[in-house]
A and B are shown apart, each in its own frame.
Chain A
């Protein structure tokens, strides 16, 4: 774990171990408090907000930041598999209860160290295209990472679980996965763009637990341990490079 450092976006030094999630949250949505909860309730809150948006007249985009306890989160399609109930019982024994979300994709991990970002949009008639909608979320995340001195882009990352076209990537590795859920009532629509950003923690365990759960469901996918990066890992690597450069400079001066 890195000690207290000063960082591009923050004039005040901070401890990477305890303050990074709050720092990145403040860059993504200044002034928005991080909700902390457990299990299905904090996941289902997105759908509840969509229903409120469908019934109201508010068209302003809104953002929600939240952190869940340790669990697996999968899709309704996976939940319809005949092996699902037994697989959930087994995963719970491992310490990973399973919950279901409304958006697409496949099974992912929630836990402290993963920041969930939900961007809500609503209006009448057709919205922007799906790509543009995803871009409205990934653009926020790319800008926030940029403030930390991290260059990010969007695109697929072959080898990572729950892959898609609109991951946020750093040097080709996924740092945030995204998904979307859209609801309609007549001409009115509401949609939530969701991202799960890897801030810190054990990514190997994340991948292993997803793989083990999927094998119980008869899904035999092979994931690459190196396909993901956390912000903590990226910053640590950069700090090491900065330190190495500084040592080289010091050597030249002497």
Chain B
């Protein structure tokens, strides 16, 4: 299992970040480096890329708040 982590250092700690959308469904096969989700922070969209190839396990729902460094899913 490889954790999918929200990026760190890109926005201020006081900003609220949410999962804007998952671009794949739970259980889909993804390739390392593929853009799998969008994080929305203060009217800004950031891409979240797959850290490894494998099966995506989504751990945070769309529109849910997330913190920098948080695990939002895994790839098996």
B18–chain A nearest beta-carbon distance, Å: 9
Tell me if B46 and A182 are in contact (CB < 8 A): yes
A122–chain B nearest beta-carbon distance, Å: 14
Tell me if A104 and B10 are in contact (CB < 8 A): no
Tell me if B45 and A104 are in contact (CB < 8 A): yes
- How far does the alpha carbon of A103 sit from the alpha carbon of B46 in the complex, in Å? 9
Tell me if A104 and B43 are in contact (CB < 8 A): yes
- How far does the alpha carbon of A104 sit from the alpha carbon of B39 in the complex, in Å? 9
A104 — which chain B residues lie within 8 A by C-beta?
20, 40-45
Count of chain A residues with Cβ under 8 Å from any Cβ of B?
25
| B3 on the A face (CB < 8 A) | no
| B47 on the A face (CB < 8 A) | yes
Stretch at the interface among A109-117, A161-169, A217-225: A161-169
B35 — which chain A residues lie within 8 A by C-beta?
183
| B11 on the A face (CB < 8 A) | yes
Stretch at the interface among A21-29, A57-65, A125-133: A125-133
A166 — which chain B residues lie within 8 A by C-beta?
42-43
| A68 on the B face (CB < 8 A) | no
Count of chain B residues with Cβ under 8 Å from any Cβ of A?
19
Stretch at the interface among A35-43, A145-153, A173-181, A226-234: A173-181
- How many CB-defined contacts (below 8 Å) exist between A and B? 64
Tell me if A130 and B41 are in contact (CB < 8 A): yes
B73–chain A nearest beta-carbon distance, Å: 17
Measured CB to CB, the nearest residue on chain A to B41 is A130
A103 — which chain B residues lie within 8 A by C-beta?
43-45
A79–chain B nearest beta-carbon distance, Å: 10
A82 — which chain B residues lie within 8 A by C-beta?
none
B43–chain A nearest beta-carbon distance, Å: 4
Contact of A183 (CB < 8 Å), options: B41, B43, B47: B47
Q: B12-55: contact bitstring with A at CB < 8 Å (1 yes, 0 no)?
A: 10010000110000000000010100101111111101000000
- How far does the alpha carbon of A186 sit from the alpha carbon of B40 in the complex, in Å? 20
Contact of B44 (CB < 8 Å), options: A77, A181, A186: A181
B12 — which chain A residues lie within 8 A by C-beta?
129-131
Measured CB to CB, the nearest residue on chain A to B12 is A131
Most-contacted residue by chain A among B12, B33, B45, B46 (CB, 10 A) = B45
B38–chain A nearest beta-carbon distance, Å: 7
A76-B20, A76-B21 are contacts. A180–B15 as well, Cβ < 8 Å?
Answer: no
Contact of B43 (CB < 8 Å), options: A80, A127, A178: A178
| A105 on the B face (CB < 8 A) | yes
Tell me if B44 and A179 are in contact (CB < 8 A): yes
| A184 on the B face (CB < 8 A) | yes
A residues whose Cβ falls under 8 Å from a Cβ of B: 76-77, 80, 102-105, 126-127, 129-131, 162, 164-166, 178-186
* Additional A-B contacts beyond A76-B38, A126-B9, A183-B47 (8; CB < 8 A): A76-B20, A80-B21, A102-B45, A104-B40, A104-B44, A130-B41, A179-B43, A180-B43
